[in-house]
Amino acid sequence: MAGPIGVRNPRTGMVDYWIEPPERDRLAERCDRLRTAQLDWQAGGLEQRIEALQRWKQSLLARKQKLVQALTADTGRRTESALELDSVISSIDRWCRLAPQLLAEPEPKSSAIPFIRLQQQSVPYALVGVISPWNFPLLLSAIDTIPALLAGCAVVVKPSEIAPRFIKPLSEAIAAVPQLRDVLAYVEGAGDTGAAAIDCVDLVCFTGSVATGRTVAEAATKRFIPAFLELGGKDPAIVLASANLELATSAILWGSTVNTGQSCLSLERIYAADAIFEPFVAMLVQKAKRLQLTYPSVDSGQIGPIIAEKQAATIAAHLDEAAAKGAVVHCGGAIEALGGGLWCRPTVLTQVERSMKVMAEETFGPIMPVMSFSTVEEGVALANDTNYGLSAAVFAGSDAEALEVARRIDAGGISINDAALTAFIYEGEKNAFKGSGLGGSRMGPAAIARFMRKKAFLVKTNSAPDPWWFDLPKATDDMSD
């Protein structure tokens, strides 16, 4: 792998941190050791694994300040960094609580054939690879790791090279738990390290862009291993004429701009019914203007810097194209350079068209382009007019009316009269539609099942010949040789 990689600080624009990716051979050796240790990890049983994860939780809590500081340096925002750690802690508790029931082997039962008993066993994949993005660096590196560990797998995690400072304190927290340190490793590095990790693992969980997701899927296919892909989105919000506009504008503003819009489940396209279009836009703009940048103090305001320099270029390109094609900018509308960081204020656009990048491609910024629709059919068609299908939101005067529309939207997680609820509700199983992903649900009970292969033991319980066996002709002397 290439030598050290410099890491840019999103608040200052300075490269002030370096990571040292492992050589390919070293990474392979590390993965071999994880794979060997997995045997004891699996054999030790679930109770021991739960105990180890609980110790990890304590170890993370003991390093809370260091972790939040590192994440804040990685991302330029503090509130969400603390929330990331809280969310990982509650995910450990949730999975430890659920795992005994979800991993319990079912009682043997009779099959459709009365004299054949069916017994099942689930066998974990030995080594899982997790490759994660920069927008929620800690949370998204842990979301698949925790259930995989409880299932009995060893895990190697390759977080994004754009936000890797948290890896050090996190690795310290792992090293402090003897049972865990042999089966969980975080490695620093860029895409080539991620690609090398795929060559070593038995299953890969990838969270990132559609483009890289395709490359990862191809690499996994070549190795004949499963790949679970959680990719980008261009989530729509539909606001029906009956919606509570006070509620809809507050929810959409949050869902579009939290974490500066750098979220896969950000609302990036808003469709408002003709009848309420003008008051809706006026209220959204009025609220959007009240949000402040977290500048100069990280503890003021709500909108942090754009974390990745490359993303600022994408946001700028989408905004420039929209403006050139006639979009009206009601607030925000440009990238601002402040203190070396790159910032974008909440932006509301109207007079947008389906062909504009800001309506068609993932922007990953605090941008709210609003279009009107005249019939519900048109609203649904516009919402589905995309290559993505991650999540969505529908606002209406009643749950029933909103659900009627939500059933027709091609997306996995749909918030009703709220936004981005899949960030909080982990119980509901959901799949990505279209280009937003591939593989089983990362949420709900199915999430842990992704890390197991099922075996069926089919046990004959009598000594009589099975009715389908050969009815052999009686042996004669002639045939006996």
Q: What is the set of active-site residues?
A: 230, 264
Q: What are phi and psi of 139, to 5 degrees?
A: -55, -45
Pick the stretch among 44-52, 63-71, 87-95, 158-166 that binds ligand NAD (CB under 6 A): 158-166
Pick the stretch among 22-30, 110-118, 208-216, 404-412 that binds ligand NAD (CB under 6 A): 208-216
Smallest separation, CB 400 to ligand NAD (Å): 29
> Helix, strand or coil for residue 349?
strand
In terms of Cα–Cα distance, which of 345, 348, 349 is closest to 334?
345
Give the residue with the Cβ less far from ligand NAD, 122 or 141: 141
Pattern of binders to ligand NAD over 214-233, x per CB under 6 A?
Answer: -xx-------------xxxx
Among positions 54, 209, 250, 387, the unique one binding ligand NAD when judged by CB under 6 A:
209
Handedness of CA 435, 88, 90, 261 (dihedral sign): negative
208 binds ligand NAD (CB under 6 A): yes
- Which residue in the block uniquely carries the two structure tokens 């509570």? 244
Pattern of binders to ligand NAD over 233-272, x per CB under 6 A?
Answer: x------------------------------x--------
Q: What are phi and psi of 174, to 5 degrees?
A: -75, -45
Among positions 80, 84, 161, 401, the unique one binding ligand NAD when judged by CB under 6 A:
161
Element (H, E) at 369: strand 367-373
Q: Which two tokens stand for residue 221?
A: 């296919």
Nearest residue (beta carbon) to ligand NAD: 194
315 binds ligand NAD (CB under 6 A): no
Smallest separation, CB 207 to ligand NAD (Å): 5
Among positions 56, 134, 343, 395, the unique one binding ligand NAD when judged by CB under 6 A:
134
Smallest separation, CB 235 to ligand NAD (Å): 10
190 binds ligand NAD (CB under 6 A): yes
Segments in 289-374 forming alpha helices (H): 309-324, 357-360
Q: What are phi and psi of 237, to 5 degrees?
A: -120, 135
Give the residue with the Cβ less far from ligand NAD, 135 or 256: 135
Beta strands in 94-226 (DSSP E): 109-110, 116-124, 127-131, 154-158, 184-186, 203-207
Q: Are 240 and 376 in contact (CB under 8 A)?
A: yes
Pick the stretch among 35-43, 156-164, 373-381, 462-470 that binds ligand NAD (CB under 6 A): 156-164
Contacts of 58 (CB under 8 A, 6+ apart): none
344 binds ligand NAD (CB under 6 A): no
Segments in 152-306 forming alpha helices (H): 167-175, 178-181, 191-198, 210-223, 245-257, 274-288
283 binds ligand NAD (CB under 6 A): no
160 binds ligand NAD (CB under 6 A): yes
In terms of Cα–Cα distance, which of 308, 423, 312 is closest to 363?
312
Pick the stretch among 201-209, 318-326, 393-401, 404-412 that binds ligand NAD (CB under 6 A): 201-209
Pattern of binders to ligand NAD over 375-394, x per CB under 6 A?
Answer: ---------------x----
| Burial per residue of 43-54, b for 16 or more beta-carbon CB atoms within 10 angstroms, e otherwise | eeebeebbbbbe
71 binds ligand NAD (CB under 6 A): no
Peptide bond into 296 cis (omega under 30): yes
Give the residue with the Cβ less far from ligand NAD, 208 or 332: 208
In terms of Cα–Cα distance, which of 3, 377, 446, 378 is closest to 190?
3
Smallest separation, CB 309 to ligand NAD (Å): 11
Smallest separation, CB 192 to ligand NAD (Å): 7
Among positions 22, 169, 194, 413, the unique one binding ligand NAD when judged by CB under 6 A:
194
At 285, the amino acid letter reads: V
Binding site for ligand NAD (CB under 6 A): 131-135, 140, 158-161, 190-191, 194-195, 198, 207-209, 212, 215-216, 230-233, 264, 362, 364, 390, 437
